[in-house]
Amino acid sequence: MNGRSPIGVELVKRGVVKEVDIQTAIEYQKQHPEKKIGDILNILNLCPQRELIRAMGQILGENVIILTADDVKIQGNKFMNLEISKRCKAILFDIIGKKAKVCFADTANHKAMEEVRLILLKHDLVMEKYLTFETNIETVIKSLENKEEATIVDSVDITKLVDTIIRSGMEKRASDIHIEPLEDSVRVRYRIDGELITVANIEKKKQLQLIGRIKAISNMHQERQDAQDGTINSYPDYNIRVASQRTIDGEKFCLRLLKKNEGIRSIFDLGFPTDEGYLKKCFDKRNSITIVAAPTGQGKTTTLYSILDYLNRPEINITTVEDPVEIRVPGINQIEIDEKSTFASSLRSILRNDPDIILLGEIRDFESAEIAIQAGQTGHYVLSTIHTINAIEVITRLRKMEISDYDISSTLATAVSQRLLRRVCPHCAVKRAFSKDEKDLINKFAERYHVKFDFTGKSTFDTKGCKKCNHTGYLDRVAAFEVLELTDEIKDLIVSGASSLRIREMAIEQGYKPLVIDAFKKVLEGVTTVEEVNKRLALY
């Protein structure tokens, strides 16, 4: 809805509300600036709902409706899933011929309307828009979600059951779906923003049918019960990798949901310090290697692609070697290793094809590390990942792979480490002042690494939880980064065989800041919480 003052004036002119009602709504809006005047009048019950929406429609020249879940006459998943409905605050509720009826909370949001229009156009449908209240949209979405969750448990048709589990995971932004046999049921869990959430428990008697269906659509051998890998290609917007594992209660499945053609996010959007000069200094390199280090599932590949996106220019030849290719990028040569190839053999082939920049999905062993080092020493810029707990330990890990200190010091230019922190949910988080314990904890680490944080005017949040964030209090994630630049002094220490502890001391003297400092910066910016930082970095 349009929250501009003329709307309020028009409503008063028409006798729908009084001036005092508009003033009350404006006071409420000061505390809730994201709300429109029309929605506020409805929330505060200052006017009969149908009378208000009718007047709003007349003023704005829009069709209007007070929508209920019963008015939704089609299965929206076929055209516009609940994830899109939440983002655009819109619900597709009926289709008549080629005309798709969609109600919006804000018909002035042209970006949302255009997104929905284009989605429907792909299905040869023409959008007919309607206006309703935002709370109306939220109520119907909640009802549809509850109906969807009930469908997972109650579905008799096994094909529909598996399809509902997968589509629901997509809509809830799950990265993985776990289907796990227990002693007396089959548990379904989604990993959302790094956390596992139980969404359903299915009757044990459906277990064998469920296993059979998953194996069938992922091209797995039906009779084998040992570990297998497969893929599901029947969902146009996703590549789904499937892994099975035998347990004492039956076969467990993990479905990794990889969205196709997902745009690459800017490195700054991921949480990297917003300093173009610093970014160039860290990553615009030649004749060297940059390594991104973190445990599994902490967004290393996403960061690598953001760096590639920053470096990608028509005059530069970029080649990647991955297992598998997770993000397809126009203009970049991408190689997926298979049973007949390895990272090392693919790298040898690439070096004969005149690359400027090489992205190696992971340095796994001496062979891949050695070839990556050689590529960096012969004029190429190599980007890769490694599994370590921080940037300093990249050096230790390479040493354990038997890469010489000389080769490490001469080739490794930058080591980056990161952790993903959940963002506070903007829909339900409650702002509050920092407690004394929180300030003391932050200041303790700040003093240790010669940093000073200013709490003036800063607030943090209590995480409440709502339907939009799956009642976790957090929605989406941001990365906390640390960057180790190998200065001449640090290279000298490496060549001399110095321990990682001594290298760390030198790095801190030269301005290196560990992950916890960037994490606390994001706490003071209101992006995440002390509790979340402690959960990911184990501070106390």
Average confidence (pLDDT) over 268-295: 91
Average confidence (pLDDT) over 193-205: 89
Containing 28, the helix (H) or strand (E) segment is helix 19-31
Confidence band, pLDDT 50/70/90 cuts, at residue 152: low
Tell whether 251 and 273 lie within a shared domain: no
Tell whether 419 and 482 lie within a shared domain: yes
Tell whether 392 and 430 lie within a shared domain: yes
Tell whether 301 and 444 lie within a shared domain: yes
Q: How many domains does the chain have?
A: 3
Q: What is the pLDDT of residue 76?
A: 53
Q: What is the pLDDT of residue 525?
A: 95
Q: Report yes or no on whether pTM surpasses 0.95.
A: no
Q: What is the pLDDT of residue 274?
A: 86
Query: Does 5 have pLDDT greater than 60?
Result: no
Confirm if 120 and 85 have CB atoms less than 8 A apart: no
Tell whether 325 and 193 lie within a shared domain: no
Domain stops at, among 234, 259, 284: 259
Q: What is the pLDDT of residue 16?
A: 87
> Which range among 427-431, 434-438, 464-468 shows the weakest confidence by mean pLDDT?
464-468
Confirm if 38 and 1 have CB atoms less than 8 A apart: yes
For the chain, what percent of residues have pLDDT higher than 90?
A: 53
- Domain membership flag for residue 220: yes
Average confidence (pLDDT) over 447-453: 94
Confirm if 152 and 177 have CB atoms less than 8 A apart: no
pLDDT digits (tens, 9 = 90+) for 323-382: 777 777 878 898 888 777 777 788 888 888 889 999 988 898 898 899 889 889 988 999
d(CA 211, CA 457): 55
Residue with the larger pLDDT of the pair 147 and 365: 365
Confirm if 385 and 159 have CB atoms less than 8 A apart: no
d(CA 319, CA 357): 6
> Which range among 72-81, 276-285, 384-393 shows the weakest confidence by mean pLDDT?
72-81
Whether the ω angle into residue 514 lies within 30 degrees of 0, i.e. cis, is no
Average confidence (pLDDT) over 105-122: 88
Query: Does 468 have pLDDT greater than 50?
Result: yes
Tell whether 97 and 210 lie within a shared domain: no
For the chain, what percent of residues have pLDDT higher than 70?
A: 96
Which residues constitute the domain of residue 216? 155-259
Q: Residue 253 belongs to a domain with what CATH number?
A: 3.30.450.90
Domain stops at, among 218, 241, 259: 259
Query: Does 262 have pLDDT greater than 80?
Result: no
Q: Residue 422: helix, strand or coil by DSSP?
A: strand
Tell whether 244 and 332 lie within a shared domain: no
Query: Does 322 have pLDDT greater than 70?
Result: yes
- Domain membership flag for residue 141: no
Residue with the larger pLDDT of the pair 347 and 249: 249
Q: Residue 447 belongs to a domain with what CATH number?
A: 3.40.50.300
Query: Does 226 have pLDDT greater than 60?
Result: yes
Tell whether 130 and 169 lie within a shared domain: no
Confirm if 300 and 294 have CB atoms less than 8 A apart: yes
Q: Residue 254: helix, strand or coil by DSSP?
A: strand
Average confidence (pLDDT) over 503-510: 95
- Domain membership flag for residue 143: no
- Domain membership flag for residue 448: yes
Q: What is the pLDDT of residue 147?
A: 67
- Domain membership flag for residue 145: no
Query: Does 64 have pLDDT greater than 70?
Result: yes
Q: Residue 83 belongs to a domain with what CATH number?
A: 3.30.300.160
Q: What is the pLDDT of residue 3?
A: 42
Q: What is the pLDDT of residue 494?
A: 97
* Nearest residue to 137 via CA among 79, 97, 84, 174: 84
- Domain membership flag for residue 142: no
Query: Does 122 have pLDDT greater than 90?
Result: no
Query: Does 197 have pLDDT greater than 70?
Result: yes
Average confidence (pLDDT) over 64-78: 77
- Domain membership flag for residue 196: yes
- Domain membership flag for residue 483: yes
Q: What is the DSSP string of 495-508?
A: HTT--HHHHHHHHH
Tell whether 115 and 18 lie within a shared domain: yes
Q: What is the pLDDT of residue 75?
A: 62
Q: What is the pLDDT of residue 82?
A: 77
d(CA 339, CA 323): 11
Strand-pair partners of 430: 462
Tell whether 245 and 327 lie within a shared domain: no
Q: What is the pLDDT of residue 265?
A: 86
Q: What is the pLDDT of residue 150?
A: 61
φ/ψ of residue 13, rounded to 5: -60, -40
Tell whether 9 and 91 lie within a shared domain: yes
* Nearest residue to 16 via CA among 46, 37, 36, 60: 46
Query: Does 261 have pLDDT greater than 80?
Result: no
Tell whether 70 and 124 lie within a shared domain: yes
Query: Does 447 have pLDDT greater than 50?
Result: yes
Give the chain's mean pLDDT. Answer: 89
φ/ψ of residue 431, rounded to 5: -70, 145
The DSSP call for residue 393 is H
Q: What is the pLDDT of residue 242?
A: 95
Q: What is the pLDDT of residue 498?
A: 96
Domain stops at, among 226, 259, 292: 259
